[in-house]
Amino acid sequence: MAKAGNSLNRSATHLLHRAGQRAADLFAEEARSGGLTPRQFAVLAAVAEEEGLTQTGLVERTGIDRSTLADIVARLLDRGLIQRRRAKNDGRAYAIKLSAQGTKALRDAQPAAAAADTRLLASLPPGKRSDFLESLALIAEPADK
């Protein structure tokens, strides 16, 4: 961390950005063999939890912006990790589901994602980890609405 007098060390925006960078770096280290990014993992996990989500639903579940999500979906389709078909309720939208390959990729990446979380949280005293996660959820909550 930078020197204690650095005003950036008191900026929640800056520190959250830096923490996000650290989380992405740890995920990349742990999951390097699987070839998934944290956002790709999040999309696969969201689809696994609720098969048939549209891209709009995925935006709502993951918080990933629409244009980035469209790129992620295209990449996952190209890799054969997801499939899409026209949604029953809206002929303009596509429902997304995991392919067998996507199910395997997600299953294979879950231990690496958990290891990255463990490594990230290890920098906090054990008694503060739960509070930290609850605080992050509170901060992220408005984005979920």
Q: What is the pLDDT of residue 145?
A: 54
DSSP code at position 79: T
Q: What is the pLDDT of residue 77?
A: 96
Strand 94-98 versus strand 82-86 pairing type: antiparallel
More confident residue, 89 or 134: 134
Strand partners, 53: 96
Write down the domain spans for the chain.
Answer: 13-144
Q: Which helix (H) or strand (E) holds 72?
A: helix 66-78
Q: What is the pLDDT of residue 14?
A: 94
Q: What confidence tens digit (pLDDT) does each residue in 55-112 have?
A: 999 999 999 999 999 999 999 999 999 999 887 877 788 889 999 999 999 999 999 9
d(CA 64, CA 71): 11
Average pLDDT, rounded, for the chain: 90
User: Does pLDDT of 144 surpass 70?
Assistant: no
* Spatial contact of 87 and 113, defined as CB atoms under 8 Å apart: no
d(CA 121, CA 133): 9
Residue with tokens 């944290």: 38
Q: What is the pLDDT of residue 46?
A: 96
Q: Which helix (H) or strand (E) holds 58?
A: helix 55-62
pLDDT band at 120 (very low <50, low <70, confident <90, very high): very high
d(CA 43, CA 138): 21
Domain 13-144 has CATH 1.10.10.10: yes
In sequence order, the 6+-apart residues with CB closer than 8 A to the CB of 26 are 116, 119, 120
User: Does pLDDT of 1 surpass 60?
Assistant: no
